[in-house]
Structures are given as structure tokens and as C-alpha cells.
Structure 1
Amino acid sequence: MKKAASALLVLALGLAPAVAMSAIPTPAAAPLTVHGVQQFDLEAAGDRAYRILVSVPDKPAPAAGYRALYVLDGNAMFLTALEAVRAMERRPDVPRDLATVVVGIGYPDGVDIAKARTLDLTPPGSGNPRITAASGGADAFLDFIEERLKPRIGALAPIDPAQQALFGHSFGGLFVLHSMQRKPEAFAVRVAASPSIWFDRGDIGTQLQAALAGRGAQAAPLKLLLTAGEYEQALSPLAHSQPNVAKLALLQKERAQVDSSRRLAETLAEQPAVDVRFEELAGEDHGTVIPAAISRAVSLLLMPQLEVPPVPSAAAYWAMTPEQRYDLRMWVRQLPDRKRIPWLTGLRDTLHDGLTAAQVQTLHDERNRMDAEQGSKPHLVNAPSH
């Protein structure tokens, strides 16, 4: 009786004997299959090949064809981009018929990815003494995308040629900029995340201006978003505890990731052929910035674009609550520079003509206070001074 009672107590407490536990069969593991995703290797010139990952939406293609997002470094970034796209397409403020083909461009098994991407993603003539891998193959890689990959994707699903986007990070971001210089019309939307401008010996800003100057005045402006993480140029709180902090600080200063990307956006801001914007992503470093940058890329491609609000009269602006004025400023700050700066210039002139100097100063102080309270930052380039 005592043995039976003890056995019942063990079972009641969930303390099954070791023999019983070992008798429980373990289900066999199976490889993960991502619904709607296929992959294949596609050969390129020079005995090279690329691992292509593709997701075609379940929903029918719009009349003009699907949108397409091409993601560089596909081995590492395709699934993040895919989930971001599908989540964005489920939003109620995104048109129901909008659907996107997501394409990751990576490398087959056995390829030294670090060396391969250094060659593929860097422009001819670029280089740095610290990087010993071969570089300068961006032209051949861009030709592969345009001449081999895009036709293959077009055979899988109808694509709207006017709604194609390219995302790249680091060397990939540099390639995105090079693609705009060499073939501006290849993509309507580009996101250069933390682009390695430091690696390119040429003046990419001047090169881009020259390439974009030839676009017709009637053509829709190309969209370019440049991003960089706050801690790609400033040391993060955690970095100070690392033994190589001095070396890291020097490297960050040399590369000036945030400043170089911001300057490039400022250089291109007056160019009517491109809607360009720079975003500094708070709290992110060169590695952690990737998901946040992908999210921005997906929003730029899929979200309805903000319309330019009318410039309110001085009396109407003064009559708003501080919260209403703040919301309007946040709206305008999301506009590309070619729309944002003229709007701010119009508001500045309206307020100076319609309000007293004391009222203008009150609004200026209010803006600074609201930014400090909300943690928001104005652009460095706004309405030019008189």
C-alpha cells in the first residue's frame, strides 16, 4: 500500500519516473518551410552565381503588376524584409490591392560571402588600405541584376517597372548610390542604409548630381532615403566598456557615417530629379540599425505618400493649440526636402509678415520646448535665412 501511495504522489506532482520519461517518443524535426518562398541559383558572367530568394504574394497582381523590393545581402536580410513587407500590406491604411514581390540577392552555399560582397557592391576605382579583398565589381553586378535577374523575376510574376525598389546596407548602401548614378531609372525607390561612402574615392555627390541632371523635367522624381544609426558615429554607452574603445572612436571619426550621409542628402536636396531624405536612427549602431532601416524602406515603398499641407495664415497658425502646431510640424518634417524647405520658407515669411516679433519669439520657444519634451529633432537644413 505504501509503495502504491508513493507512486500516486509522484504522478500527482508531475514527477514521472525517469523510465517513463524516456519512453515518451520525440517527434522528428523537420526543416522550416516559409510559405510562398522559393529559391534558386542564377548564373552570372565570369563563372559566378547568386542565390535568389523570392516571395510572390498570394493575392492577384494589380493591373500594372506587382511592386518589387530587391534586397541586397539576401542571405541575412531577406526574411526580415519579407516579414516587414507582409506586415505593412496588412495595415488598414495601405490599399487592399497593393502587393509586393520580395527578392533577396545572396550567395550559394560555400561562397566566402565577405569577399564576394566586397567585390560586387563597391564601385570601380573604390578601395581602402584596410580592406584587402578585391573590390570594384559593382558595374558587373548591376548588369547582372538588370539583364539576368529582373527578366527571371518577370517570368515568375508580372512586375510594375515603375514601382521597383532597392535596399542595401553598408557596402550595399554604397551600391544603391552607385546604381542611381549609373542607371537612375532602374529603381524608382532606393534606400541606402549606412552607405560606406568612406570607401569610395570619388565624389559621389557630384557624380550623382551629374547623372540626375539629364533626367527629363516631366519625369517623376526618384525617391532616395539615406539612413544611419546614432551610434555609428558617436560611441554608444556600452562601447566605453570595451577594450578597443579608442580604436573604435578613431574609426568612427574617420568614416563619419552620419555626417557623410547627411551631407549627401543636403547636396542632392536641390536636385529636382530626386526626392531625398536623411534619417538618423536613434540608439542604433552599424549592426542593430538593419531592421529599423528595412522598416523605413518598406514604408517608403508601400505607405501612401504624405501630401503637402497648405501653409496656414499667420492668424490661423497663432490660433492653433501648441499640440496642433507640433503635429503640423511633424507632418512637414516627413516631407522630402524639395517639398519641406519651400513649405517652411512660406510659413516663415507668413509669420514674419503677420505676427509681432514677440509672437514669433513665443512660437520659436514653443517649438524648442515641444521638441525637448517629445524627443524630436528638427532638420539641420530648413528655410534659408533672409
Structure 2
Amino acid sequence: MIDAVLPGASVRDMRSNAGHDYRIFVWQPEPRPRGPLPVLYLLDGNGMFPIAAAALALQSRRAERTGVAPSIIVGIGYPAAHWIDARRRTCDYTPPVAGGRLAQRPGNREWGETGGADHFLDFIQHELAPAISNEFPIDPDRTALFGHSFGGLFALYALLTRPALVRSTIAASPSIWFAPDDLRERLANFAAPPMARRRVLVTVGSLEQGGMSGDNDADDYGSWIRRNRMVDNAREFSAELGRAGDASLDVSFRMFEDENHASVVPSAISLALRFALSPK
């Protein structure tokens, strides 16, 4: 048996200053173009990185036709054999919310550890990004962050709390339902840094609010996803972002027809590449 290899990809492990272990997946174009390159930081790296790297490798071959430039992708994952580390991502991607204000889970299950978004942002901003910049020639005017689901929630939280972190933010199917009041409070006090406008893309699948067979199962999952208002929240919050950041944010919204919370991922990633990694 021969292990599968993704050309241009490499993997390295990092331990944060806070003592948390991460697995970092990096894709670079081969041969590497001269000059600084755009970079896309991608959450849920274990599962999302292969999709994004393959899409970027294919599309960046003819940048003049696809609108996707040769770029660096940095997938941020965990040293585990799973595509998704539910426990770690739930902690890292969620804002700090008081226990009494935590959203309900299906079946009223207890939450594990949550509220680690600020520590995770510290790792990205002060440890990971400098390490990547030391290893690769990065264009500071073309940096982006992509997250899906809780990752999309984290991307919005990062935008509202550290708007200078990246130039483009892509929040795919953001789990706004987890902390809607917190996000809107931060949006009310949002002040972008005095520099070039930031670009924001919010995406969602049209079936994420219900409408698929199985949404009315005996358990309460169907009512739970309807209560979460994934489509309405994404549309409404992107509009609120546009109004609040009129002078500092360029906000776009896209809904993918006939896609659910899982099936929408490849489409969201493909659009994110065109949105964030276009040639100058």
C-alpha cells in the first residue's frame, strides 16, 4: 500500500504558548512564484485542508481565467486521526458566553468546554502567523481567514474583536445561534482600524434551516435546526455588518441553493478562494 500524498503539501505540529497542540497543514504552489503570496488560514484543517488545497491547485494554474492566484493555504487542525475534533473546536471556536446564556443543544445535552476563542486568536495572531511569515513570503494586503459552522462564528468574532488580523473574512454557515447577543453587542461597538477596507463574505446553504427529509425525526433535531435560523441569521447579520461597517467593510452574502450544512462546504470553499485570493 502507498500512502496518499498531496503535491505541494506539508504538515507540522505546533504547541501554543498556552500548552495546546495543533497540527498545521500547509500547501504552497510548485514551483513557487516570485514575490509575496496571498495566504488563506483555514479552520478545521484536518477535514477542510484537502478540499481547499485541491481546489486551489486546480484553479490557480490559470489565474487569468479562474480569478484565483497561486497562494499559500494554512489549515489549522489538531493532532488527531479524525476529520473533525468536535471537543477541541467547540472550545477554540466559541466566544466566552456566561453559562446561563449558553444556547440549547439537541436533547438538552450538556456543553463541554466552550469560550476559548480569545486564546485561539492569540495563537493565530502571535504565534502561527509570524511563523508562516518567517517561512513564506506573505503579502500582508492579501490575507484571509475561512471558517465553517462554529468556524464561521469564530471568523465573525475575529473580525469584530481583531479587525486588523486579516484583510478578508469568510464566514461559511456561521453558527450565530450560539452567541447572537454577544455578536450584536460587539457589532454595536465595532470600530475598524484606520487602514484599507476589510472584505467580508458570509455564505449559507438554502437547506440549513430545514426542508430536508429527516428534519421531523422523533427527536428534536429538526425543531432545533429550525430554531437556529441558520439562513435567516446569516442573511440578517451580513446586512447588519454592512450597515455598521459602511465606511470600513465591503460585505457580500451568498446563499447556495439545494445545499445543506455539510454539502455546502466545497461550494463555500471554492467561492472563498475566488473572493480572497484573486490576482492583484
Q: TM-score, normalising length from structure 1?
A: 0.65
The alignment partner of 1:239 has SS state of coil
What RMSD in Å do the two structures reach over aligned CA positions? Answer: 2.3
Aligned to 1:253: 226
Structure 2 Cα separation of the partners of residues 304 and 215 of structure 1: 24
5 Å-filtered alignment, 1:146-225, equals 146-200=125-179, 202-211=181-190, 213-216=191-194, 219-225=195-201
Q: How many residues align?
A: 270
1:89 aligns with 2:60: yes
Q: Is the 8 A contact 2:59 2:66 kept in 1?
A: no
CA-CA distance at 1:62 after TM superposition:
4.4
Higher helix share: 1
1:128 aligns with 2:103: yes
Aligned match of 2:274 in 299, 302, 308? 299
* Structure 2 portions without partners, runs of 5+: none
CA-CA distance at 1:202 after TM superposition:
2.7
Q: Is the 8 A contact 1:88 1:302 kept in 2?
A: no
Q: Is the 8 A contact 1:62 1:97 kept in 2?
A: no
CA-CA distance at 1:41 after TM superposition:
0.7
5 Å-filtered alignment, 1:37-76, equals 37-63=9-35, 65-76=36-47
Aligned to 1:104: 75
**Residues 201 and 258 of structure 1, relative CA distance in 2, 3 Å threshold:** closer
CA-CA distance at 1:299 after TM superposition:
1.1
5 Å-filtered alignment, 1:219-234, equals 219-234=195-210
CA-CA distance at 1:179 after TM superposition:
0.5
CA-CA distance at 1:166 after TM superposition:
0.6
The alignment partner of 2:164 has SS state of helix
Per-residue displacement from partner, 1:293-343 (whole Å, max 9, x unpaired)?
Answer: 1111111013469xxxxxxxxxxxxxxxxxxxxxxxxxxxxxxxxxxxxxx
Q: Is the 8 A contact 2:171 2:201 kept in 1?
A: yes
CA-CA distance at 1:110 after TM superposition:
6.5
1:117 aligns with 2:89: yes
Structure 2 Cα separation of the partners of residues 290 and 301 of structure 1: 16
What percentage of aligned pairs have identical amino acids?
36
Q: Is the 8 A contact 1:173 1:194 kept in 2?
A: yes
**Which structure exhibits the higher relative contact order, with contacts defined as CA atoms closer than 8 Å and separated by 6 or more residues?**
2
Structure 1 Cα separation of the partners of residues 66 and 172 of structure 2: 26
The alignment partner of 1:93 has SS state of helix
CA-CA distance at 1:34 after TM superposition:
1.6
Structure 2 Cα separation of the partners of residues 174 and 276 of structure 1: 16
Look up the equivalent residue of 1:252 and give its one-letter code: I
Per-residue displacement from partner, 1:117-151 (whole Å, max 9, x unpaired)?
Answer: 10000011263342511100000001101111112
* Structure 1 portions without partners, runs of 5+: 1-28, 306-386
Aligned to 2:249: 274
Structure 1 segments (4+ residues) deviating >4 Å: 94-97
Q: Is the 8 A contact 1:94 1:303 kept in 2?
A: no
Look up the equivalent residue of 1:68 and give its one-letter code: V
**Residues 140 and 55 of structure 1, relative CA distance in 2, 3 Å threshold:** same
**Residues 57 and 92 of structure 1, relative CA distance in 2, 3 Å threshold:** closer
Look up the equivalent residue of 2:248 and give its one-letter code: A
CA-CA distance at 1:88 after TM superposition:
1.9
Structure 2 Cα separation of the partners of residues 153 and 52 of structure 1: 10
5 Å-filtered alignment, 1:316-355, equals none
Structure 1 Cα separation of the partners of residues 259 and 201 of structure 2: 17
The alignment partner of 1:294 has SS state of helix
Aligned to 1:20: none
**Residues 205 and 97 of structure 1, relative CA distance in 2, 3 Å threshold:** closer
Structure 2 Cα separation of the partners of residues 96 and 198 of structure 1: 33
Structure 2 Cα separation of the partners of residues 47 and 97 of structure 1: 36
Aligned match of 2:124 in 145, 150, 155? 145
